[in-house]
């Protein structure tokens, strides 16, 4: 394997359990990677999730190493870099108030029409993430087992995505995690985020390596693979850790 100049990751179910903290093992591997080169994380999660799930677990890492960590929350609609003191915003493609209102209304109405609006969710179903509106069918705090069992074949998400997309022709509507639908500005997905990362770092896409759990066609990591970024499919954070150890041994 040619040594990648930058290693990128999805977050939930790739580096960490959904909405969970990265493990001590993943933290050690990320630190080892940061000693060797550039690392990026791109996910549908919001900035606070990145900070709590990952950054807080890297508290012992020095500023020089953190300067090599690229954070792209909400599918790359935002980009943060460490400025020596903290992670600072480089860009954000926030939705307008009208776009947010239209997205929130369409998600609720179409979910209710399709029988996908839960009456007793675990936390909020709809979330305004600034540059992304997210629908979580069972609520933001749903347990992992419930989430993975809700739509194993993706048909519920596909039906809701198609119904909502028909009402929002000016926005990007796509399936996110195991129970979610994400809405951003048109043309902005993980492929957009990776392209912007290549532009801002000067690292060609072909010199990157991406790990994700949803690289299947229709999965939210697929746009990265379709873009031509060398990619490795994983099945949970433990599988990522095993494959990262193999990568580090080859560097």
Least trusted range by pLDDT, from 4-13, 143-152, 226-235? 143-152
d(CA 246, CA 251): 9
pLDDT category of residue 31 using cuts at 50, 70 and 90? very high
d(CA 61, CA 79): 20
Inter-residue contact 134 to 172 (CB < 8 Å)? no
Whether residue 179 has pLDDT greater than 90: yes
Tokens of 1: 């394997």
**How confident is the model over 61-119, as pLDDT tens digits?**
999 999 999 999 998 999 999 999 999 999 999 999 999 999 999 999 999 999 999 99
Whether residue 44 has pLDDT greater than 90: no
Per-residue pLDDT at 178: 85
Per-residue pLDDT at 187: 85
Q: Which residues contact 180 (CB under 8 A, 6 or more apart)?
A: 44, 134, 135, 136, 137, 157
Per-residue pLDDT at 177: 79
Whether residue 5 has pLDDT greater than 90: yes
d(CA 198, CA 194): 6
Per-residue pLDDT at 113: 98
Q: pTM of the entire structure? A: 0.88
Residue found under tokens 């209710």? 112
Per-residue pLDDT at 218: 78
d(CA 86, CA 64): 12
Tokens of 15: 């580096």
- Tell me the mean pLDDT in the region 222-229: 94
**How confident is the model over 188-206, as pLDDT tens digits?**
889 999 999 999 999 999 9
Q: What angle do CA 62, 209, 185 make, to 5 degrees?
A: 90
What separation in angstroms does the CA of 126 have from each of 105, 156, 163, 179, 181? 10, 16, 16, 12, 10
d(CA 190, CA 192): 5
Whether residue 1 has pLDDT greater than 70: no
């Amino acid at each position: 394997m040619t040594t990648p100049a930058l290693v990128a990751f999805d977050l939930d179910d790739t580096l960490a359990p959904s909405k969970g903290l990265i493990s001590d093992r993943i933290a050690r591997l990320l630190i080892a990677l940061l000693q060797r080169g550039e690392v990026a994380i791109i996910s549908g999660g919001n900035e606070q999730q990145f900070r709590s799930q990952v950054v807080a677990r890297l508290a012992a890492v020095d500023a020089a190493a953190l300067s090599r960590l690229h954070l792209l929350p909400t599918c790359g609609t935002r980009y943060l870099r460490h400025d020596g003191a903290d992670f600072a915003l480089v860009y954000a493609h926030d939705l307008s108030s009208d776009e947010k209102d239209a997205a929130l209304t369409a998600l609720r109405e179409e979910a209710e029409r399709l029988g996908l609006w839960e009456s007793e969710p675990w936390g909020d179903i709809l979330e305004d993430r600034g540059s992304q509106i997210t629908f979580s069918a069972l609520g933001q705090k749903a347990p992992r087992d419930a989430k993975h069992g809700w739509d194993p074949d993706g048909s519920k998400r596909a039906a809701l995505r198609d119904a909502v997309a028909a009402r929002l022709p000016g926005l990007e509507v796509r399936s996110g995690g195991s129970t979610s639908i994400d809405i951003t500005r048109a043309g902005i997905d993980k492929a957009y985020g990776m392209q912007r990362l290549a532009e801002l770092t000067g690292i060609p896409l072909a010199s990157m390596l991406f790990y994700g759990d949803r690289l299947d066609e229709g999965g939210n990591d697929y746009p990265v693979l379709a873009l031509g970024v060398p990619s490795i499919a994983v099945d949970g954070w433990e599988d990522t850790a095993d494959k990262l150890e193999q990568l580090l041994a080859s560097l």
